[in-house]
Amino acid sequence: MSLHDEYARVTTFELAYPDRERFEALVAAVAREGAHRGMDPTDPDAFAALEAVGSFLAAHHGEDVPRVELIQHGVLLFHAAHFAGAECPLYLLDRETTRQLVRTAPSTDPTPPAHAGYLQLPQHLFWTGGAEGGAPESVDGLFWTMSRSGRLHVLVVVGVRPDRPGFGAVSLPDAPVAHAADWMHASVRETGDDYASRLPGAQLDELYSIEAAGEVLKLLARFFAHATATGGVREAAAPIPDGAGPQPSSLPYTRVRGAA
């Protein structure tokens, strides 16, 4: 199995919202309406109640979409809007840095490098159980958004594959970012090591599994601490490949690697 980390891959933000001009208009409308109505768009419930958001969802997905599905679209839109509002902070971890963070917590404080962003993991390194007992899915990355009240909202993106349309997303319960230092040192699983994989052949490629929200928060907090200490290297969008690798992102990104 190929574990790709040579450049940032196309993100779900780009796949879901290809019309950037229209999306930027939504971000501006959310800011205006939130200020006018005295609502906090960094709170997911307040964000979902904005007329600009409702109108965008109806136009983008249609008015006959089931309510449960529309709520799922709304969660992705919440993270995507704040990601865009923060000027699309895209971070790519390489394999060795990721393995280092799985093994050891950095000694620095876990301060988010931006109030919203997307952490892209090496392709096919992390896996999680499929929806409703389905096949395991590869974890592409993690959206995070910080609310003004200090709550961290996280969306796990899975199943980004060129052989099928769409992708999966799992929203975690919000948590106070003030507790991030505790997440870095937590032992999440009652038995066995955190991130240990039960997938057939996982030991050959040293693959990891995510089975609980605490493992996501632990990894994200360790990334925050590592990024605080090392900064990272800003790189331009990758050129269009010759078909030998995954589709690259059109966004500039920060490659985060090296010992903290």
Q: Residue 163 pLDDT more than 80?
A: no
Q: Residue 35 pLDDT more than 90?
A: yes
Q: How many structural domains are present in the chain? A: 2
The verdict on 67 and 146 lying in the same domain is no
Q: What is the reported pLDDT for 1? A: 56
- Please count the other Cβ atoms lying within 10 Å of the Cβ belonging to residue 228: 16
Q: Residue 133 pLDDT more than 90?
A: no
Q: What is the reported pLDDT for 241? A: 78
- Higher per-residue pLDDT: 131 or 102: 102
The verdict on 139 and 247 lying in the same domain is yes
Percent of the chain, pLDDT > 70? Answer: 93
Residue 19 forms part of a structural domain: yes
Closest CA to 156 of 183, 132, 187, 120: 120
Q: Residue 260 pLDDT more than 70?
A: no
Residue 195 forms part of a structural domain: yes
Q: What is the reported pLDDT for 162? A: 67
Q: What is the reported pLDDT for 120? A: 98
Residue 6 forms part of a structural domain: no
Whole-model pTM over 0.85: yes
> What domain range is 151 assigned to?
88-256
Distance between CA atoms of residues 221 and 67, nearest Å: 33
Residues 6+ apart with CB under 8 A from 132: none
The verdict on 145 and 201 lying in the same domain is yes
Q: What is the reported pLDDT for 221? A: 98
Residue 3 forms part of a structural domain: no
The verdict on 166 and 95 lying in the same domain is yes
How far is the CA of 35 from the CAs of 31, 56, 117, 176, in angstroms?
Answer: 6, 18, 22, 24
Q: Residue 52 pLDDT more than 90?
A: yes
Q: What is the reported pLDDT for 258? A: 72
Q: What is the reported pLDDT for 130? A: 52
Q: What average pLDDT does the chain have?
A: 91
Q: Residue 222 pLDDT more than 80?
A: yes
Residue 1 forms part of a structural domain: no
The verdict on 73 and 199 lying in the same domain is no
Render the burial of 149-174: b for 16+ CB within 10 Å, e for the rest: eebbbbbbbbbbeeeeeebbbbbbeb
Q: Residue 63 pLDDT more than 80?
A: no
The verdict on 242 and 127 lying in the same domain is yes
> In whole angstroms, what separates CA 199 from the centre of its chain?
23
